[in-house]
Structure 1
């Protein structure tokens, strides 16, 4: 039977002067394999190869439990044929290998020919060298649990002490345990994400069969909105989509377009609030050469580009009175004039509009034309806020997690209680806000699992943002001689997650963070974010919904101490 390590003779002193250097080389290269190898197969097989070539520990093999856990099988090896690997199967407690698995203790067989417990199952005696052959097997431990066995042959009569080989095998078994644990964790999370992905694909295919074109949600509120869209999709009636910012108005307008006879023609979307008023007319109607300084050539506008198809005008309530008049003419006569032009240009365009404002109230205040309101409001469809879409948060959050993992090459999963917390939040920013929160949580979580603390940190920041928006930017501004924008005005820096949920197209895609002002009361939030991330400015910026450049700019303008911004 094999001898445990406490009965080995230690009188054999290492006589090979280079053995210590070989040991260190093997350990160094094995450690590098853990960090650099793309797969467990590469890392473990490379380690077994080093054992053979550098230390003379031949025919190394790693045995792991089968799916049932009743037997051990050779999963990785070096120097064994495929047939030998196939034959190397042991019940737990059977032979030297099975005994090591069961007991969790290493074993050394100094002469396999004299050990009745050695089974010669994987490798025939005729295959092994003549002379005395030893066999060493050590457990692969994950904490206090034995998860496998690392074993190898060696020639017994060597100047190198056998207990030195046992020691390095035990160290390498620790390395291999780490590789296996990491691989199992990735496999577990990948399996979880694949299952989530399969469920979402099934839901998407089911909904696509209903011509929903990728709108996720099973709530009655969403079904009602989609049912209304299906009724008017293949007509020429003008549709007005209403609802809070971030409810997916552009996505619903795309569904309407794709279900119409214009589906093979252009779909053009423009956000009336995102373009400066002095540029919006040219963007919509185009311009003739020489119409204004810099107009060196004629240019078609969005309306002409959409001819034959659909034009989606988001935030229609932000159009000035002059452009409202011109839009009314399009609806009535289907003709336009470019800026600086005098010729009528016929167009064939279906117009879908959207707003989060109360247009009736705007009419009463004289800010919106009554005749245009009646032309746009022929068939209004209200899109429900996320808080009224019972059950849809879970579906959308899973979808956004999968998307963020693909985008950032992560294997992040939701921790215990996170989904329930997401479902209880009010979501004033609706779907766009939910997507940004999920993306941010993927970026800031440290161990691949989004925790309740991660979500609560982000939601606190979200609540602060909403309070500032509701206050109408009435809080005190901070300046050094003058008001200071978040970024220098000559360069806009895109943010991973937008600061405001009332600007940008409702496409579910992160938009540039609009300019705002540096406020004194932001210092505490910045300090808390840095503390949470251990001083890492990039992660802290993600928590606050800023780009790293915006974050550094605020640090400088607020005059925060240097030790707050030290990278962790």
Structure 2
């Protein structure tokens, strides 16, 4: 029965209860601890005993006691109701307050959780109020009380309604946290599963058909000693593919040696590849073996082979034909047992036609051509890689971030001319610059807008004295930032620029027109620190 009686409560006492309840609910997000503590307050300070919070199950057809104070475990387990059943079911169904002044005289009172013999012999009442969320009943807060008390029923209803609203917000927060946690766990589980499935592919993450086809082909040719030419845009993972081929080959356990032909000046590349004898040139204070010798028994990976000069191409051809090297300044042939894998983002066939690449070398290298698909062709892999990089960088930078709505779809719609390397940079920048706990679509949009202007800026003529062909870079609009041959730098020039930049290597590299890796290489070669 519903009642409307005048309030006869103690405002100070109710204020104390609400203050304590707010403190308890704000102290912890663990509802199983805070809600029973609030129900204990209602029992001890307001005489509202055996409080219980009844919530629907996953199907929404059953109601059960989830939190309680003053009920035994068996009584809690017995407190299960159908929607609309009894007083509790009625309040849940209608969203209306219900007061039973005498439970012995109310046929709808079920005595489901607590048997009558357990209750006091006096007239016992029951008060139930709905827990409302978004104007809809989400649960029921119910309590017993002795009917003959100076405190009016309406005072209890007023107090319980406020407490129910506080409990409702606690449940809402708990639900949001659970959903967010579940979402993160699902993302992590998907990432773990993907990593487990891809672990044998040596860091090559993806599930798209074009990538799996390339992986299958690479695995198939790994067992032979044939020369493999990896073709693909910058940032598609050519070195990872080369390492995978090596690990799947009979040469596993032997050296895997990598040279980036575009990152090493032309005069130094020959010495890097073939080695040199003591006194062969200024600064050659001792003999040194080259990378071809160091790879003996294993695999030599020549990245960006298209940047190699014609003179050095002829010496590489001899290495492939005779499997021997001759150090600079020496006259002795050194036999090596190596497998050669090459890679280039350039069209070497076009280089042959233009006279910048030897035809005979091209045929020697192009025994097994293997095309690596750009990221924009790999359906579904952008989202997988984005989650992987998010997981990596949140751990590295000690942040707890998630991807907001629309982020994945925006990432998937971007052309990714820089491929995986560009996506990795974008995700790390997002992790470092996002101020909230969620990377929103607007954050990603801002970063991608900056990425889109890079191609426009490179169309301007480069005015630096070292002659890096920035205008040439625009000839490769679909390959991101291609490697370019860079001008030589002498030790004195490097030292002067470093001093002018006060040791800032990033700024020095920018002034010299070098990448950070190219500058680092020169500093090591000239012994500069």
Decide: shared fold, TM above 0.5.
Answer: yes
Secondary structure at the counterpart of residue 28 of structure 2? helix
- 2:231/2:345 contact within 8 Å kept: yes
- Is the aligned partner of 1:177 residue 2:135? no
Q: Within 5 Å, which residues of 2 pair with 1:18-29?
A: 20-29=15-24
Partner SS state of residue 393, structure 1 = coil
Q: Secondary structure at the match of 2:11?
A: coil
Distance (Å, rounded) in 1 between the aligned partners of 2:120 and 2:334:
92
Q: How has the CA–CA distance of structure 1 residues 188 and 227 changed in structure 2, closer, same or farther, with 3 Å as cutoff?
A: closer
Deviation at 1:464, TM superposition (A): 0.9
Q: Which runs of 5+ in 1 are unaligned?
A: 35-41, 478-482, 494-498, 505-511, 516-568
Which range is displaced more, 305-314 or 236-245?
A: 305-314
TM-score, structure 2 as length reference? 0.69
CA distance in 2, matches of 1:321, 1:262: 30
Residue 460 in structure 1 maps to residue 449 in structure 2 = yes
Equivalent residue, structure 2, for 1:490:
504
Structure 2 portions without partners, runs of 5+: 395-399, 465-469, 471-496, 520-529
Equivalent of 1:52 in 10, 32, 40: 40
Query: Larger radius of gyration, structure 1 or 2?
Result: 2
- 1:313 correspondence with 2:302: yes
**SS state of the match for residue 379, structure 2?**
helix
RMSD: 5.0
1:46-195 maps to which residues of 2 (within 5 A)? 46-52=34-40, 56=44, 59-109=50-100, 112-113=103-104, 115-128=106-119, 135-153=126-144, 157=149, 162-163=156-157, 165-183=159-177, 185-186=179-180, 189-190=183-184, 193=187
Give the Å deviation of 1:182. Answer: 0.6
Evaluate the alpha carbon distance shift between residue 73 and residue 218 of structure 1 in structure 2; reply closer, same or farther with a 3 A threshold.
same
Residue 53 of structure 2: SS of its match in structure 1? strand
Task: Kindly provide the CA deviation profile for residues 284-329 of structure 1, in whole angstroms up to 9, marking residues without a partner as x.
Answer: 6789999999999999876566443333332233446776566556
CA shift, 1:89, in A, is 1.0
Contact 1:59–1:77 (CA<8 Å) still a contact in 2?
Answer: yes
Per-residue deviation, 1:354: 0.9
- Give the distance between the partners of 1:435 and 1:263, measured in 2 at CA: 29
Q: Shift of residue 344 of structure 1?
A: 7.3
Q: Secondary structure at the match of 1:9?
A: coil
Partner of 1:394: 380
Match of 1:33 among 9, 28, 32: 28
Encode CA deviations 1:84-137: one digit per residue, 9 max, x unaligned. 332221111222221221122344455655554432222334445675655443
Is the 1:45–1:76 contact (alpha carbons within 8 Å) kept by the matching residues of 2? no
Whole-angstrom distance in 2 between the partners of 1:330 and 1:112: 98
Query: Following superposition of structure 1 onto structure 2, how do residues 143-292 of structure 1 map, counting pairs within 5 Å?
Result: 143-153=134-144, 157=149, 162-163=156-157, 165-183=159-177, 185-186=179-180, 189-190=183-184, 193=187, 204=197, 214=204, 216-219=206-209, 221-222=210-211, 225-226=214-215, 228-230=217-219, 232-274=221-263
For the 8 Å contact 1:71–1:90, the answer to whether it is kept is yes
Deviation at 1:23, TM superposition (A): 2.8
Deviations 1:237-287 (A, max 9, x none): 221212211222223223422432224444444544456778767876789
Determine if contact 1:23/1:55 at 8 Å carries over to the other structure: no
Number of matched pairs = 469
CA contact (8 A) 1:58 1:152 kept: yes
TM-score of the two chains, using structure 1 as the length reference: 0.65
- Shift of the alpha carbon at 1:353? 1.4
